[in-house]
């Protein structure tokens, strides 16, 4: 019984020390660029797609922001919509 307690204590101390050391060192992961974050955002991609479709079908630029519930999602959706709409129009011009 005492061997089991000793092993359990040793494992707990080892895991605790490992966790402390892992959290104390700064992360060396590169930070994603703003463009990469936008491309990974669902609201932005949705806006990009719908803006492109609206421009290709000749509809006026009018993003439907009610599709998203948070202000942040609405803002990124609008940014994507405008970019998709404007990029699509630019490609259609001779």
With beta carbons less than 8 A apart as the criterion, state whether 72 and 41 touch.
no
Separation CA 90–CA 94 (nearest Å): 9
Report the pLDDT value the prediction gives residue 8, as an integer from 0 to 100: 64
Q: Which residues contact 56 (CB under 8 A, 6 or more apart)?
A: 88, 92
Which of the residues in the chain have pLDDT under 70? 1-32, 94
Domain count, the chain: 1
pTM of the complete model beyond 0.85: no
Structural domain includes residue 22: no
Structural domain includes residue 6: no
Two tokens, residue 5: 């307690």
Range of the domain at 93: 33-94
Structural domain includes residue 7: no
Structural domain includes residue 77: yes
Helices (H) and strands (E) in the chain, counts: 4, 0
Structural domain includes residue 1: no
With beta carbons less than 8 A apart as the criterion, state whether 82 and 43 touch.
no
């Amino acid at each position: 019984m005492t061997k089991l307690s000793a092993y359990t204590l040793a494992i707990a101390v080892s895991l605790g020390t490992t966790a402390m050391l892992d959290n104390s060192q700064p992360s060396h992961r590169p930070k994603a660029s703003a463009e990469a974050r936008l491309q990974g955002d669902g609201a932005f991609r949705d806006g990009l797609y719908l803006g492109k479709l609206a421009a290709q079908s000749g509809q006026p630029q009018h993003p439907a922001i009610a599709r998203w519930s948070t202000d942040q999602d609405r803002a990124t959706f609008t940014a994507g919509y405008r970019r998709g709409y404007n990029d699509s129009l630019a490609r259609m011009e001779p």
